Amino acid sequence: MENADADFQRLLDEAVKFHGHLCGGQVIGVRMAMAGLRELGIKEPRGKEGRDLVIFVEIDRCATDAIISVTGRTPGKRSLKMLDYGKMAATFVNVGTGKAVRISVRADLDEKVRRIARANETAESEEAAYLAALAAMPEEEVLKIGRVIVNIRPRDLPGKPLSSVICERCGEAVRDMREVYRWGRILCRPCADRQTYYALEDGRPATGASRTSRGRVRKGSA
């Protein structure tokens, strides 16, 4: 138990350094990551046994940084996937064996932690009492852990891009089959949905910038 506490504190310190501040998200993220690794039997995620680990996180908030810090999985290695669900949960998958666990934060956690924190009269501050209570809370009261089945598409796996095509509207390359076929054209998603951003070179949304470049499929990276 003492070893587990020491591991937790070391991983929390590292996460705080990576994230930039100590917050509830760091405490929860470290706890989620430790539980996920334990459930998949991975002791050294940056070593050989972590090679097949892919994590799907469901929120773009503080805890995600802690999960990255503990596990070494990153979007750039395609081993950390962002699912924009706004939910405090992450699924840890061994893509070699298919074993997967989804770990989510219990809905009544915040209320419970606040109740314990309020009773702490020796803590330096309200926040310190909250974080101490969150760190000390038994795992089964913090996290819900369940086996799941995850279907990972080949196009989402680490490794070389499976394809690269040119968007017929903006002329930019789109990899890994993320292109959209619409109005008889091969388009990138922002061009197809007219979302996220517009090219502002001429003050107006880009149109027909690549009318001459036909969408073509190439093997390997561009």
- Distance of closest approach, residue 154 Cβ to Zn ion, in angstroms: 23
- Distance of closest approach, residue 186 Cβ to Zn ion, in angstroms: 9
Which residues fall within 8 angstroms of residue 164, CB to CB, at 6 or more apart?
Answer: 173, 174, 175, 217, 218, 220, 221, 222
Q: What is the per-residue DSSP string for 7-75?
A: HHHHHHHHHHHHHSS--HHHHHHHHHHHHHHHHHT-S-TTSGGGTTEEEEE---SHHHHHHHHHH---G
Cα 45 versus chain centre, distance: 15
Q: Which residues bind Zn ion (CB under 5 A)?
A: 23, 25, 62, 167, 169-170, 188, 191
Give whichever of 73 and 169 is closer to Zn ion, judged by the CB atom.
169
- Distance of closest approach, residue 200 Cβ to Zn ion, in angstroms: 15
- Distance of closest approach, residue 177 Cβ to Zn ion, in angstroms: 15
What is the residue whose two structure tokens read 């070893």?
3
How is residue 171 written in tokens? Answer: 């002329």
Mode of pairing for the β-strands spanning 80-82 and 89-94:
unpaired
CA distance 145 to 140: 8
- Distance of closest approach, residue 208 Cβ to Zn ion, in angstroms: 11
Give whichever of 30 and 170 is closer to Zn ion, judged by the CB atom.
170
Helical pair 62-71 and 24-40, crossing angle rounded to 10 deg: 40
- Distance of closest approach, residue 182 Cβ to Zn ion, in angstroms: 11
Give whichever of 80 and 101 is closer to Zn ion, judged by the CB atom.
80
Give whichever of 8 and 95 is closer to Zn ion, judged by the CB atom.
8
CA distance 151 to 204: 40
Give whichever of 40 and 142 is closer to Zn ion, judged by the CB atom.
142
**Residue 116, H or E segment:** helix 109-118
Give whichever of 40 and 187 is closer to Zn ion, judged by the CB atom.
187
- Distance of closest approach, residue 25 Cβ to Zn ion, in angstroms: 4
Give whichever of 122 and 196 is closer to Zn ion, judged by the CB atom.
196
Question: Cα–Cα–Cα angle for 35, 64, 143, nearest 5°?
Answer: 35
